[in-house]
Amino acid sequence: MYRPESMYLNVELQTPFNVIPHLNGRYRHDFKTDSLTSSAYLALSENRPLINGNLKITQEIVDISLNTPQNRYSVNADMKMKDDTYSLSGNAAIGEKKITIAMEKTPSSININLDTPIKGYERTQIKASASRKPYHAALNIQTSYLFDIEFDARLTGQRFDELDGSLTLKTGLYNLRNIRISMKNDKNFGELKSHVEAFWTDRNGITIDASLTKTDCSLTVSTPWESLRTAYWHVKYDSLYTDLVVATNMKINKETVYDVNLKVNIFGDTFSLSGNGAIRRNKISLVMVITPFSLNINLVTPIRGYEKTHIQASVSRTHYHAAVNIQTSYLSEIDFDARLTGRILDLDGYLRLKTGFDNLRNIRMSIQNENNHEESKCHIEAFFTERNGMTIHLSRTNMDWSVSVSTPWKSLQTAYGKIKYTGRYPNWIVTTNMKINKETIYDVDLEIDIDHDKFSLFGTAANEHKKFTLTMEKTPFTLNINLETPIRGYENTQIKVSISRRYDHAAMNINIQASYISEIDFDARLTGHRIEDLDGSLTLKTGFDHLRNIRMSIKNERNLGELRSHIEAFYTERHGITIDASLTKTSLSVSLSTPLKLLRTAYGHVKYDIRSTNFGVATHLKINEETLHDVGLETRFFGDTFSLYGNVANRWKKFTLAMKITPF
């Protein structure tokens, strides 16, 4: 197979800009078995070179160079790579100001030298190194402006109890001249000891000593702050078969903060906890016993009003009984008792809550429920004082339901409601009656008839002053509603809905008539089962100004390989939007007209031609008969030659582009 030894590319571009009237570029690439070499050159003219560069790659080295041979400014760069090591050197100059950089990197180190004209940073040197056996990292930074900065970190040991490490940071900054952190762990005869230091000056720092054994743990901290010169914390624990004993204390600046002793016992289903302690000079004691059906707590604290607290609770599942008693120095006694017996249809229960708060001294609730096949009764009481409370009585006899309520509030001293069912499926008659303070609110009568897919309803709701009437009929494709009310403007309201559908046709119509508003009529239709056959319309008529006649329509038509679409959307007789579109294998055009002054008309056209070796595109856009842009683009392939021609024009300027590429 033939393989060329080199490739050559020349690009020439002319523009209408004064700054860059002419641009010339050359690129050359050499193919060889043992190396790869490339060079590039870019210039404004023969006497004004902009940039040139070279690239060389072999099995052992990568060499890159970049130059900008200008009198006013220049850039030179050179990079070399070999195995895991690479180096970079370069400079950039603008007039008499120059920046120079040199960098070398190996797998375990990096060195950087930087020279700049910036005051204070004329010379900067950075050195860094790292290793994993043992873990060690070092960093050194030197600049003309800053003091010498040096960082060093080391860590040895394979397990946590053998760790030994240090971290050092030296700077020239005040109070941060010598920062050092160290840690050392040591395990001996079952005891793990740790010593940690963190110093940010020669004298100011923190030390931590910790000790851990199977039965105790201690921690000692010393700092340079007066409020926390020393801190000591100690925990001692002893675990037996059924008991756990814990003792802990904490001191700050040799003053006891707290001292606590706890004992936990678990025997069968019984859990008990006893303890005593002191916080500063305040003593606390706690005794708690928990069984599956009881809880007892005795708590003594120095908190005023809660010097002594006693809580007792019990639960019984035989009759679903629960009791809670709480006694404290501050609060009066609180006593809670609840009991529930029977099944869901024959419930009998009560709840009592006694407190020392005014208006809540004796709260009681009770429920009694009786039920059989023909009759049901339920009586509920809820009293929050001896005299003030609520009663609710529910009763059912066959299909007659009634409810009566009495309360201490004047606006609702008594309430009564009744519902009665007569008839059988599919014909029902329902009558309801509701009274508040013996005054009838509404009498409601309903007649319901169901016949296969048809449903009808007739109902009235009335009192001494007002009457409402509702008639509704529903079939699978129609719905008619008539509503008569005493409300002004809505004395008579009619709603009619119809729906029809077939394989390629769907329609819906909604008509609303009311005394207050003008007639509202909605109609929608759609035919066709493919996108190129769609034909539809939507109409909405109302009595509102500017919305008296809203209509939308769409029509698609396909003829001799051309798809045409026409869309209209009008919100008055004259004001609306129209869109016409045409699509073929080689072109697409869209025209738009609106009532807006800024966009009376818009026209867009795209023409394209796709062949085996050529490709061409032309676009054209107009708004209000004024051309916005005109674009043409054509590509050609002939053998190994590729050509590109293009132009872009608008109202003010025109751009052209010509490019040809060959293998050499």
Q: Is residue 42 included in any domain, yes or no? A: yes
Q: Is residue 652 included in any domain, yes or no? A: yes
Query: Residue 411 pLDDT > 60, yes or no?
Result: yes
Q: Tokens 């001191």 sit at which residue?
A: 251
Q: How many other CB atoms sit within 10 Å of the CB of residue 493?
A: 19
- Reported in sequence order, the residue ranges of 46-190 that DSSP labels E, i.e. its strands, are 48-58, 62-67, 73-82, 85-94, 97-106, 109-115, 123-132, 135-143, 149-156, 164-170, 178-188
At 589-641, the pLDDT tens digits run 999 999 888 889 999 998 888 776 778 888 988 888 888 888 888 888 777 78
Residues 169, 177 contacting (CB under 8 angstroms) = no
pLDDT band at 222 (very low <50, low <70, confident <90, very high): very high
pLDDT at 656: 87
At 498-557, the pLDDT tens digits run 998 877 788 889 988 887 777 888 888 888 877 777 888 888 888 777 667 888 888 888
Domain coverage including residue 602: 585-664
Query: Residue 578 pLDDT > 90, yes or no?
Result: yes
Q: Of residues 229 and 348, which shows the higher confidence score?
A: 229
The helix/strand/coil state of 228 is helix
Q: pTM to 2 decimals?
A: 0.45
pLDDT at 404: 92
Residues 91, 103 contacting (CB under 8 angstroms) = no
Last residue of one domain, picked from the residues 59, 76, 94: 59
pLDDT at 641: 80
Query: Residue 471 pLDDT > 90, yes or no?
Result: yes
Last residue of one domain, picked from the residues 44, 59, 74: 59
At 341-387, the pLDDT tens digits run 877 667 788 888 888 776 667 788 888 888 877 788 888 888 877 77
Q: How many other CB atoms sit within 10 Å of the CB of residue 372?
A: 9
The helix/strand/coil state of 639 is coil
Structure tokens at 19: 């700054």
Q: Of residues 304 and 565, which shows the higher confidence score?
A: 565
pLDDT at 592: 92
Q: Mean of the pLDDT values across residues 375-403?
A: 86
pLDDT at 642: 77
Q: How many other CB atoms sit within 10 Å of the CB of residue 309?
A: 19
pLDDT at 325: 87
Residues 389, 382 contacting (CB under 8 angstroms) = yes
At 253-308, the pLDDT tens digits run 888 888 888 888 888 888 999 998 888 778 899 999 999 889 999 999 888 878 88
What's the whole-number average pLDDT of the chain? 83
pLDDT at 19: 64
Apex 419 CA angle, 415 and 423, nearest 5: 170
pLDDT at 20: 66
Residues 34, 59 contacting (CB under 8 angstroms) = yes
The helix/strand/coil state of 144 is coil
Phi then psi for 410, rounded to 5 degrees?
-60, -40
Question: Which residues, 6 or more positions from 264, have their beta carbon under 8 angstroms from its beta carbon?
Answer: 243, 244, 245, 246, 271, 272, 273
At 31-48, the pLDDT tens digits run 665 667 777 767 766 666
C-alpha to C-alpha distance for 416 and 401, rounded to whole angstroms: 11
Structure tokens at 418: 């009744």
Q: Is residue 94 included in any domain, yes or no? A: no
pLDDT at 4: 64
Q: How many other CB atoms sit within 10 Å of the CB of residue 124?
A: 19
Query: Residue 215 pLDDT > 80, yes or no?
Result: yes
Nearest to 98 by CA among 77, 121, 115: 115
C-alpha to C-alpha distance for 510 and 523, rounded to whole angstroms: 7
Q: Mean of the pLDDT values across residues 124-142?
A: 85
C-alpha to C-alpha distance for 173 and 176, rounded to whole angstroms: 5
Q: Mean of the pLDDT values across residues 84-109?
A: 87
Share of the chain above pLDDT 90, in %: 16
Q: Is residue 228 included in any domain, yes or no? A: no
Q: Is residue 447 included in any domain, yes or no? A: no
Structure tokens at 282: 């305040």
Q: Mean of the pLDDT values across residues 554-576?
A: 85
At 161-185, the pLDDT tens digits run 777 888 888 887 766 677 888 888 8
pLDDT at 472: 94
Q: Which amino acid, one-letter code, is at 347?
A: L
Q: Is residue 45 included in any domain, yes or no? A: yes
At 54-75, the pLDDT tens digits run 777 776 666 777 777 665 667 7
Q: Is residue 649 included in any domain, yes or no? A: yes
**How many folded domains does the chain comprise?**
2
Residues 74, 67 contacting (CB under 8 angstroms) = yes
Q: Mean of the pLDDT values across residues 197-217?
A: 86
Torsion, Cα 568 570 576 580, to 10 degrees, reads 0
Q: Mean of the pLDDT values across residues 649-661?
A: 82
Q: Is residue 306 included in any domain, yes or no? A: no
